[in-house]
Amino acid sequence: MKKVFLAAVCVTALCFGFKTSNAQTAPAFKVGVFDIDLMVQALPEYRGIDSLTQLYERDTLGTEYQIYQGEYQRLDSTLKSDSAKGVSPTIMSYNNQQKQQMMYNLVYWQQIAQQKSDQYRGSLSAPLYQRVVVAYKKVLAVKKYNLILKPNTYEVGFPVENMFPLVAKELNVTLPPGLTIDPNQALQDQGTIGGAGVPKAGTGKP
């Protein structure tokens, strides 16, 4: 019985020692905080893209909406006139389909315009995203983070590192104040990281 007990003690001691040794030699679990979209929006060039997108929304999309309105009214009047004149049902059916398409564009214009605006903004900002991704990968290669979190997704656990200044250094740009703070300190003020000095997409306003 004593031999069995002593064997159990030895096994336990060996296991404990192995775990302690692993804990001492294992590298620290590194967590970074970053968001590619916020980094792109923080670049000085993004202000110009934001302005161009607003002009596109006002001029191009605004004109397109007016065209749909005018075409819908024209087709509606044409159908009423053709009905009174007894115009061919084939022609009236075609005009009615066109009218329904104009009505669809007007009813769902907000979603259609938003999609077109996003596509326009995306085409303009694509080079900025490429620059940020290159800088981001360089930081990852050096720092070797185990986990990357978006701002405001961290509550408690491992200490985290703010990656924005590191990526900004690679890009040789100055960050707005909201992206330069210590994310561990920002836990007392949720919403600080990424919430100050960065323009919201489509508005140009922080």
Task: With beta carbons less than 8 A apart as the criterion, state whether 43 and 174 touch.
Answer: no
Phi, psi angles (nearest 5°) of residue 148: -115, 125
pLDDT at 122 over 80: yes
- Would you state the pLDDT for residue 198? 42
Residues 6+ positions from 26 with CB-CB distance below 8 Å? none
Quick: pLDDT tens for 46-101: 999 999 999 999 999 999 999 999 999 999 999 888 777 777 888 889 989 999 99
Length of the chain: 206
* pLDDT greater than 60 at residue 9: no
170, 138 in Cβ contact below 8 A? yes
